[in-house]
Every structure is written in structure tokens, then in C-alpha cells.
Structure 1
Amino acid sequence: MYMPNTHWTWSFAIVTLVQALVTLGLECFGFIYELVLVYDALRMKNTIQVIGLCACNFGLLIYGAVQVRQIQNAVAVLSVNDKISPVVWAESEPFLIIIPCIVALGSILMTFVAWKLYDEFAWTIYKHISADLRMKRRYLTYQIYIALLKFDFFFFLGFTVQFLVVVSSSKHDAEFYLTIIAVPVTIIILLCGAWFVRREFTTGMIIIILLLFAALGYFCFKLFRMYAPATFPQYLPARPSMTFFAIITLILIVITIVISCICVHNFNCGLKPHINKKKDRPEEKTTELSDNVNGQVPSRMMID
């Protein structure tokens, strides 16, 4: 009875180390993806995306703190079985601890900068959307929807990568191949979701909302399998981080569905000219008074 248990513990430690490497890789990808989104948010002057990036950075902080305990347990098991030197943990611990500390400092600085940018971007929206509170609310809803699609992609991809590398690495069954196919399909769905809302295509948005409900059911099913007695062992090494990604993704999907419905409700209310600017059209310097007199909206926007 001892040997099988020892072998299982050793295998669990190996898989846990693999999961830790996947965690580090996802963190690196997360910060690179954040860098791209920061550039995009500044270019488009999307206030909501800037705030979302601050929240995402705090999420990566929690995600990085979880891996410290995982690696410590894995190294402890492997060192007891003489599969790895105990010195490895002593050499790795300072670097693993300093990562969350640096991310925490960066998150605080990002929050301060986001607060300053909020005032600047709010003034830009006022100049180009005018003082119409209803139109500003519609535009704010559009910004929230676009930002949510970008964050949905990252957390869905993070969950999928962990499932493919850690959980399904030893068995290539139908679920494995379906998960691979789901990655490009998800990218297409999110791109179509952004295009449909810009064109105010109601039928397309209804399809997107139905697909989001399907994604909601998928992640609920995965959470059930992660904790069901019959299937939880295969998820055990990656369960803490996969649970984190699954819960965050579920919250984001629910919010995305709600905001999608509000966006559909705002169709044909005058927002479309503001979010579909023509880059080849010369910028016209118009004032709010002249726009109201002529009954026209500015042909050029500084933010999307």
C-alpha cells in the first residue's frame, strides 16, 4: 500500500511543478497582454479599459501569490523522494516572493495613474459626445462591453491552456480536441461581438448572447468536474489556479451578457455615428452649439 501511494505522491508533485511552470508562463503572457491593452486604452482613450487593467493587475497579483505554496509543496515531496535537491527551494523562494511584491507596487502605481487618466478622458468624452447624459451613458456602456471582450479572451485562454497542458496532457480524448478547437472559435466570437455592436446588428448580437450563455454553462460544468468525487483527481494539481480562472471568467461572462443586452437596447439611439468614425474624413472643428443648431454630430472622434 505504501509504494502506490508514494508513486502517486511523486507523480502529483511532478504535475504540480509543471502547473507552476504554466503559471509562470501565464503570468508573463498576462503582463505582455496588459502592455498591449494599455497601449490600446491610451490610443482609444477607453477609461473603462484603464480601470479594468488595474483590476486585472491585482488579479495577477493573487495568481502569483498562489504559485508560491504550490511550488513549495511540490519541491518538498520531490526532495523527500530524492528526486530533487532541497537546495532548489532555498534558491527559488526569494524570487517567488519578490514577484508578488513587485506586482503589488506596480498595481498601486497603476491605480494612481488610472485616477489621473480618468479625469483627462472624461473631459475628452465631454467635448466630443457633448453634455447629453443619455448619450454619455450609452457610450460608457459601449466602452464597458469592448473592454469586457478583451478581458474575456485572456481569462478563457488562461483556463484553456492549464486544462490542455496539465489536465489533458496524458490523454488526448474528444474533450481535449474540442478544447483546442474552442480557442480559435472563441477568438472569432469575440471579434464578431465587437463588430456587431459597432454596426448595431441586432441578430448578430442575439447570437453572441446565446453563445455567451453556452460558455457560461461550459465553465459551470468544468467547475463541477473539478470538485466532483469521480473526476476531481485529474484536476487536483491545477485545481486552485483553474478555479481562480474559472470563477473570474464566470463573473466576466455574466457581466458581458448583461452589458450586451444593454448595448442592444441602445441600438438606433444615435450612438452609431460616434463609434464608427471614418479615418479618411477630415476632422471638422465644431462646437457643441453649432452641432445642436445644425442637428449634426461631430464627424470625427478622438476616442473610440
Structure 2
Amino acid sequence: MYIPNTKWTWSFLLVALVQAIVALALEAYVFGRFQTSLRLKGQNKDAHNEPRTIPTYLAVFMFGYLYQLVLVYDALRLKNTIQVIGLVLYNVGILIYAAIQLDQIRDAVTALDSNQLIVHHFWPQVKPMLIALPCLMGLGTVIFAFLAWKLYDEFAWTIYKHISADLRLKRRYLTYQIYIALLKFDFFFFLGFTVQFLVVVQNTTDVEFGLTIAVLFVTFILLLLAAFWVRRENIAGMIVIILVYFCALAYFLFKLIRMYAADRARIEDYKPARKSLTSFAVITILLLLATIVIACMCTHNFNKGLKPHIQTRKPGGGERGGKAYNTEMPSLSGPQPARMEID
């Protein structure tokens, strides 16, 4: 599998790589300082939630960067304009999380310090690193947006050379691409919310805890099935998955309301991660709404000529002579591969 050998594609990949390396280094420093600054000898760790919250925030943030690298490579390999634009918005989401993370880690450190569970100089040491992260994300987002604009023009030329002039089929394929891109972003925010809930929120009943773990595994399987059924144009499967989306939407709305409208004791259980969980819940709800709409549009487009172009993966040669598998839409006027853009 290769990515197009152009200055803009390599620039986009390089910016993503540099941003990830710097952010991971800063997060690793904060994590290391936190582990060496704790004073939990002779203490009951289960009696304090903060020692678990800070590593969880850092772990979710670090996974977000690693997952972004995978999505960047995938978008460039497929010349997927939709996913490139989505990555700019993804960076904005991570920027928001970085800003929230600063506030929540400060609150956790304050609670630990009041109980004399952490050294006093920990916060002054890590605060500059945590402030640098949103600044890094802001700069990265601006550069990403510029490069996405350049890649849009670059990929558009490839599409112009290869794809048919059938605008209706192009729009159907565009809808399909948006749907697949949404599934990839849904996965991260589903996972991020669930992991934080499992680790940070206290006094969760055994039933709720077990159901949340089950949701973690079922979500991954359902997202794979969602992609499989849309490629196969399976109407029954898509109806099932759309119903599941509505159930997931109800679940996140319930969690969001519960964080602010439950009884006082339960609100306190959510408090250590409420800001972070709220941001993930709101973004996930918005993604689910978009996914439901696009899933319905994809289902409406079944049996209208798109299936042969997305169902099978045909072997094809890469630019570097190696074996590759073509997952893009072929031209309707010939055997050459083609990619999609926003019309």
C-alpha cells in the first residue's frame, strides 16, 4: 500500500507525524512526572479517584494521536478528500479535549494536594507542557486546513482525468465515502467515552459496569458490520444498524443528562471526568446524528448502480510496482481507478 508521491501528501503526513511525536513526548513527560510524584505508600488507592483519572486522560489523548496517524495514512492512500477534511475537524476535537484536559488535571492535582498525596511542585512542572498542547493543536489545525485545501485541488485533478461524468453516481459514491469516514471517527469517540466512564466514574453498579464493557466490544463489531452491509447493499442489515444507531443516540443522551440532572450523590461520581465526558458525549451525539442521516441516504441509494464499484476489492498494481488492492471507485468509462471528491 502506497500514498501518492507528491509534496502535499508528504507534507500532510509529515505534519501529522511531527504533531503526534511532540504531543506524545509532552504527554509521556506529564505521565512520568505524575507517577514519580505520587505519595500513595500506606494509602488505600481505591479511596481516591484522582490517581486513576490523570493517567486515563493522558492515555485517551495519546491513543487519539496514534489513531489519527492511521487515519491520515488511510486517507492519503485512498485519496479520500472527505476523510482529509474530516481529519481537520478531528484535530479541532482533539484541541478541545487538550484544553479540557488542562483544567481537569489541575482539579485532580488540587484534590491530591489537599490530601497530601502528591508533591507540591508537580503542578508547576507539568503546567507548561499542558498549556503547550492546545497551542500545538491550534497550529497543527491551521496547517492541516491549508494542506487539506491543497490536497483537495490535487485529488480533484486525478478525479477529473479518470471518473465518468455521471453526476448522480458520483453523488451516491460521495455519500458512501462520507458514511465510511464517519464510521472511522465514530469508533474513536465511542471508545474514548467508554474507557473514561469505566475507569473514572465511581460507584457504578455491576450491571451498568458489565453493560458498558459489553458495549465496548459490541461497538467495534457493529461498526465493521455497518461497513460490510453498506458495501453489500443489504437493506435488512442497514435497517438493523440504523436502529442500533438510535439506541446508541439514546444511550449517550441518557448519560449526558444523567451527568447533570441525577441525584446529588451520582453527580459527584461523575464530577472528576464530567467535563471530558461531556465533550466526548456531545461530539458523539453529533456524529451519530450525521451517521444516521447518511446511513439512510446510503440505503436509499441501494440498487442504483453503485454496488459493483464498491463491493469487491480488485487486485491492482501500485505506483511502485508492488502488489496492492484497489478500494477506490473505478471509472465507468474504462478500467482505470478513480477517486471521489466533493462536487
TM > 0.5 fold call: yes
Q: 2:291 corresponds to which residue?
A: 256
How far residue 18 of structure 1 moved from its aligned partner, in angstroms, is 2.8
Question: Following superposition of structure 1 onto structure 2, how do residues 1-304 of structure 1 map, counting pairs within 5 Å?
Answer: 14-16=48-50, 18-168=52-202, 171=204, 173-230=206-263, 231-280=266-315, 297-303=333-339
Q: Percent identity among equivalent residues?
A: 57
109-118 or 28-37: which moved more? 109-118
CA distance in 2, matches of 1:254, 1:131: 31
Q: 1:289 corresponds to which residue?
A: none
How far residue 281 of structure 1 moved from its aligned partner, in angstroms, is 6.8
Q: 2:327 corresponds to which residue?
A: none
How far residue 297 of structure 1 moved from its aligned partner, in angstroms, is 4.6
Query: Residue type matched to 2:235 in 1?
Result: T
Contact 1:14 1:74 in 2 (8 A): no
Contact 2:50 2:112 in 1 (8 A): no
TM-score, L = length of structure 1: 0.86
Q: 2:16 corresponds to which residue?
A: none
112-121 or 153-162: which moved more? 112-121
Deviation string 1:83-138 (CA, Å, 9 cap, x unpaired) is: 32221111111111111111221111111111111112223333343122212111
Q: Rate the CA distance shift 1:49–1:103 in 2: closer, same or farther, 3 A.
A: same
Contact 2:50 2:109 in 1 (8 A): no
Structure number with bigger Rg: 1
Q: Rate the CA distance shift 1:277–1:120 in 2: closer, same or farther, 3 A.
A: farther
How far residue 203 of structure 1 moved from its aligned partner, in angstroms, is 1.0
How far residue 296 of structure 1 moved from its aligned partner, in angstroms, is 5.8
CA distance in 1, matches of 2:276, 2:335: 47
Q: Rate the CA distance shift 1:225–1:202 in 2: closer, same or farther, 3 A.
A: same
65-74 or 271-280: which moved more? 271-280
Query: Residue type matched to 1:87 in 2?
Result: H
How far residue 280 of structure 1 moved from its aligned partner, in angstroms, is 3.3
How far residue 298 of structure 1 moved from its aligned partner, in angstroms, is 3.4
How far residue 219 of structure 1 moved from its aligned partner, in angstroms, is 0.6
CA distance in 1, matches of 2:96, 2:270: 20
How far residue 40 of structure 1 moved from its aligned partner, in angstroms, is 0.7
- Count of aligned pairs between the two proteins: 282
SS at match of 2:303: coil
Q: Rate the CA distance shift 1:136–1:85 in 2: closer, same or farther, 3 A.
A: same
Deviation string 1:234-270 (CA, Å, 9 cap, x unpaired) is: 1111100000000100000010000011011111111
Query: Residue type matched to 2:337 in 1?
Result: M
38-47 or 15-24: which moved more? 15-24
Structure number having the greater helix percentage? 1
SS at match of 1:301: coil
SS at match of 1:280: strand
Contact 1:277 1:301 in 2 (8 A): no
Contact 1:68 1:97 in 2 (8 A): yes
Contact 1:277 1:299 in 2 (8 A): no
Query: Residue type matched to 2:290 in 1?
Result: I
Query: Residue type matched to 2:193 in 1?
Result: F
Contact 2:164 2:333 in 1 (8 A): no
CA distance in 2, matches of 1:281, 1:56: 31
How far residue 14 of structure 1 moved from its aligned partner, in angstroms, is 4.6
Structure 1 stretches lacking a partner, 5+ long: 1-10, 284-294
After TM superposition, where is structure 1 displaced by more than 6 Å over at least 4 residues in a row? none
Contact 2:163 2:332 in 1 (8 A): no
Structure 2 stretches lacking a partner, 5+ long: 1-44, 319-330
SS at match of 2:175: helix
